[in-house]
Amino acid sequence: MKLHEYQSKFVFAGYGIPIPHGKIATTPQEAFEIAREIGQPVVIKAQVLVGGRGKAGGVKLARNPDEAEMYASAILGMNIKGLTVKKVLVDPAADIKTEIYLGVTTDRAARRSVMMASAAGGVDIEEVARSTPEKIVRIHIDPFLGLRDYQARDIACGIGLARQYWKEFIQIARALYRCYEENDASLAEINPLVITADDHLLALDGKMVLDDNGLFRHPQLAEMRDTDEEAPAEAQARQAGLSYVKLDGEIGCMVNGAGLAMTTMDMTKLFGGSPANFLDIGGGAKADKVATALRIILADPNVKSVLFNIFGGITRCDEVARGILEALQEVPTQVPMVVRLIGTNEEEGRAILADANMITAATLAEAAQKAVEAAKQYATERGEQS
């Protein structure tokens, strides 16, 4: 789950990280009032969950409230990489001397969190890493000790930060790490962290990405989710308690268990196909949940066959079979379906599907091969390319 810039910065502020005292506007008139209240030049910033706002014209400097209203009017409703701007952040303009990048994320190879910093702040850190990786300082953090002061000093020294700013930088770095850790984030970054004309550090922009699996511990953060900017299928899946990610292939996959789902996707590739989605219905899924999952899969026009791979442990095979039939009554389709049911009540499940014109398989390899062949035949019959 991604947070908007204004949401991220408000979370940062709760940990003592200095941020501009801006406000959100949803209309040009609100932007005018906020700018007049701030009483100095302001920056109007589009709030969308994608990068490249500045290049798209979504960030403007307004010298007075009238300009703030004018720019807000132009930015609100703007389309940036397929997303419509519905809110703008009106921040006091800062007099910037230096820009720094500071962020924390997970280094899976090292199995630890890593804090990164660069003197090349204000630009895309991925571009810095690609073109001038030597400009990025990285420090791995022991999860039992947290970020230590000496590590923050090493970072400050590594990016060439003047000693007079070290104390404030260390405080911000440690606060950012606490924010990252305590909110189950996978990313927390400030870009840019600036030195202002009055020689103070200020987080001008912020970004947080939260681990969905930890949101049950943070209901106040879960409420910040922007459902307007989610793909409809993914929003529907989340509401139904399904783990779903849309992909670009043609084999729709419905599986119970993340590991089994990954294996199923790999098997479709082994036989020359490509998965259209990752979809884990989880353990103990009932018929209504299965029906919702199938409706989501069939809503994808790229799907040319559906592969069900169900291992009946907690999940009963007969419940899955009922869910499939329930969904097909609501969403009739000619898309071929291959079913592999094994485990609890597998015979009952197969009996339920016996008259449903399903293709059955005894093994995953057989099921994947049949699903790929069925997709090719379906595409050929319709004059499409599989």
The answer for residues whose C-beta is within 8 angstroms of residue 206's C-beta and 6 or more apart is 5, 8, 9, 11, 12, 19, 188, 189, 190
- Residues 253 and 273 grouped into a single domain: yes
Give the residue from 53, 58, 47, 3 showing the smallest Cα distance to 22: 47
Any domain includes 6: no
pLDDT of residue 365: 94
For position 262, which CATH number holds? 3.40.50.261
Q: Are residues 73 and 198 in the same domain?
A: no
Which entry of 6, 15, 71, 101 is annotated as an active-site residue? 101
Give me the phi and psi of 374, to 5 degrees please. -65, -40
pLDDT of 229 reads 67
Residue numbers in the chain where pLDDT is lower than 50:
none
Residue that finishes a domain, picked among 92, 121, 144: 92
- Asked if omega into 192 is within 30° of 0 (cis), the reply is yes
- Spatial contact of 18 and 191, defined as CB atoms under 8 Å apart: no
* pLDDT on residue 385: 59
Number of domains into which the chain is organized: 3
CATH number assigned to the domain comprising residue 172: 3.30.470.20
Is there a domain that residue 386 lies in? no
- Does residue 189 carry a catalytic annotation? yes
In a domain, 2, yes or no: no
**Is 71 one of the annotated active-site residues of the chain?**
no
Catalytic residue among 189, 250, 346, 373: 189
Residues 63 and 125 placed together within one structural domain of the fold: no
Domain end residue (candidates: 169, 199, 222): 222
Distance CA 134, CA 81 (A): 31
Beta bridge partners of 187: 105, 209
One-letter identity of residue 274 = S
Q: Six-digit token pair at 57?
A: 């014209």
| pLDDT at site 165 | 96
Query: Which structural domain, as residue segments, surrounds residue 71?
Result: 21-92
**Domain identity same for 370 and 262:** yes
Give the pLDDT of residue 341: 85
Residues 369 and 264 both lie in one domain? yes
- Tell whether 33 and 101 lie within a shared domain: no
Q: What is residue 333's predicted lDDT score, i.e. its pLDDT?
A: 85
